[in-house]
Amino acid sequence: MINAFHNEAGVTFPQGFTAAGVKAGIKKSGNLDVAVIYTEKEAAVAGTFTQNAVAAAPVFASKAVVATGTAHAIVANAGCANACTGEQGEKDAAATQKIAAEALGCTPQDVVVASTGVIGVPLPMDKLEAGVKDAVSKLSADGSSAASQAIMTTDTHPKTAALEIELGGKKVRFGVIAKGSGMIQPNMATMLCFITTDAAIDSKLLQKALSKVVATSFNMISIDGDMSTNDMVVVMANGAAGNAPIVEGSEDYAKFLEALDKLCKELAQEIADDGEGATKFLTVHVTGTKTFADAKTIAMSVAKSPLVKTAFFGADPNWGRVICAVGYAGVPMNHKDVVVKFGDIPVYAHGVGAEYDAEALAKVMEQHDITISIDMGQGEEEATVWTCDFSYEYVKINGEYHT
């Protein structure tokens, strides 16, 4: 039984975790821009990172931390990505780890670092150092809300969730904060996601669990087809719940995996729903393929199509754009086997447009949440991708982002 809490507890909901978010002057807006998450009790750590070949300095620094298997803290800043900043960027990422470690009383290799914002701009280290020290001084069990705000860029609202399960008679808690709104394309998205849990689990099994759930959550969203340089999902598990260490193949592992999956899918959908300038949340559900990979490829082809996305912004039931995106996805198919539905209404079936009630379809197209269902008629596999529409506001936000 999983109980989800859509509250501000976030990453401080699990036992032993504190957090803070402060204003360091890195964001031009003057809003909160430096976050720290901390556990005094050593935590197992796992992470997944961007697959962009042009990865930012903090990605490499944090991969090295994850490789050690343990961590005590996460330090994140918004307003500057510290990407494409050369050797200086690497030095700045390392300096951030050292600054945080000295303030927290741990080692630099205990500190995950993350950055998000404009690419190609060096970190303002004087501001960041002051911000990290300020955040450490303000760490509290009520600090998750501020931390979630501090990692936002073009997000319209903080993204946070928490839940509790029972393992071996012990209550085990999970908390998460994330950011993501634009430059969203797996694998993963322009996103930072930090998960905490007080479960007892070793780092290798934690990594296996995280990689498994990321594949069907954060790797199944797309807003604009652009893969960021800074993406990461990091989870720390400090064992403070006192449960017996989770072992692979056990009932406890299945419950842990289910809880982690629920959190990640929830936040992934929230990121897609909060796409820059979005007015519609679109679920693309592809069934009837021979493999999951085929279903995902087709779903992503539809989800990334600017013509599909603009049609849904305009509430135009232009099914031709959808079947076109299915056709060029590169998956062997017979178009006469395919059925496409908008909501529950078939719009294309077996090679031709389907007859439908125009008034009923118009009501579907006006909704905020719309499902595009595509049955390929070739097998038993399926996949679901989440995306949003393209609006005038998306162009405005990204046309002015650097300025």
- β 232-237/192-197 pair status: parallel
- Residue owning tokens 């998306």: 394
Compute the distance between CA of residue 64 and CA of residue 45 in angstroms, rounded to an integer.
11
Q: Comparing C-alpha atoms, which of 17, 10, 7, 4 is closest to residue 141?
A: 17
In 105-202, which residue ranges form alpha helices assigned H by DSSP?
Answer: 125-137, 144-150
Instruction: Check: CB of residue 205 under 8 Å from CB of residue 257.
Output: no
Which long-range contacts does 393-401 make (Cβ < 8 Å, 24+ apart)? 393/276, 393/277, 394/182, 394/224, 394/275, 394/276, 394/277, 394/278, 395/277, 396/277, 397/154, 397/182, 397/276, 397/277, 398/182, 398/276, 401/118, 401/154, 401/182
- Residue owning tokens 């059925």: 339
Compute the distance between CA of residue 46 and CA of residue 70 in angstroms, rounded to an integer.
8
CB burial readout 192-211, b (16+ within 10 A) else e = bbbbbbbbbbbbebbbebbe
Across-strand partners of 197?
Answer: 174, 237
Torsion from C-alpha of 75, 33, 211, 108, nearest 10 degrees: -10
- Identify whether 289 is a catalytic site residue: no
Compute the distance between CA of residue 386 and CA of residue 2 in angstroms, rounded to an integer.
23
Both structure tokens of 235: 């989870």
Compute the distance between CA of residue 190 and CA of residue 274 in angstroms, rounded to an integer.
12
Which one of 12, 39, 50, 190 is the catalytic residue?
Answer: 190
Instruction: Check: CB of residue 232 under 8 Å from CB of residue 62.
Output: yes
Active site residues: 190
